[in-house]
Every structure is written in C-alpha cells, then in structure tokens.
Amino acid sequence: MKRELDNLITQMHAGGITYDEAVREFKRRFILEVLSSHRGNQCKAAKELGVHRNTLSRILAELKIDPGLVRTAQRRPPQRERGAFEASKRGA
C-alpha cells in the first residue's frame, strides 16, 4: 500500500496538483468511504472518524457531500422492481 501511495503522490506532484487540492480530495474520498460503509449514518461515521457529529456535518458541507445521496445509493430497489428483474432473468 505504501508503494501505491508513493506512486500516487509522485503522479499528483508531476500533474501539478496543489497541496490544498490533494488534501481536499483525500478528505473527500476517505469520508465518502467511511460514510458508505455505514450506509450514510453520520453518527456512526463520525464515531469511526473520531470527530463529533456536528464536525462531520460541517466537513460534509465544506466538501459539498450530500449524505442523502450516499444513503440512496445504498438502498435496494423497491420490491416491484426486484420482482420484475427476477422475472426477466428467468425468462432470459
């Protein structure tokens, strides 16, 4: 993993990415990963990140992350859509 990170940093530096841009993108991706692992539950994500729930909410606003989109991306389709999908698989 360290080698991958070293390569990524070298590529970012060669690509002219600024320190602020790199830090912002890292924070954004890391927080999205933790938030996704908790299915958008901000309280659980904040606890894992070691920050207060209000701090996480502020960070999400700063990074323009909509936690609602994380939750909806994790949901299963409605029953009627799942049934139609299963029926189409059987008929294929």
- pLDDT single digits (tens) 18-29: 999 999 999 999
Mean pLDDT of the chain: 85
Give the relative orientation of helices 19-37 and 67-74 as an angle to the nearest 10 degrees.
Answer: 40
Q: What share of the chain is helix, strand, coil (3-state, %, to 5)?
A: 75, 0, 25
Full set of structural domains in the chain with CATH: 2-91 (1.10.10)
Cβ neighbours around 65 below 10 Å, total: 17
Q: How confident is the model at residue 88 (pLDDT cuts 50, 70, 90)?
A: low
Q: How confident is the model at residue 85 (pLDDT cuts 50, 70, 90)?
A: low
User: How far is 85 from 69, CA to CA, in rounded Å?
Assistant: 23
Cβ contact 15:9 at 8 Å = no
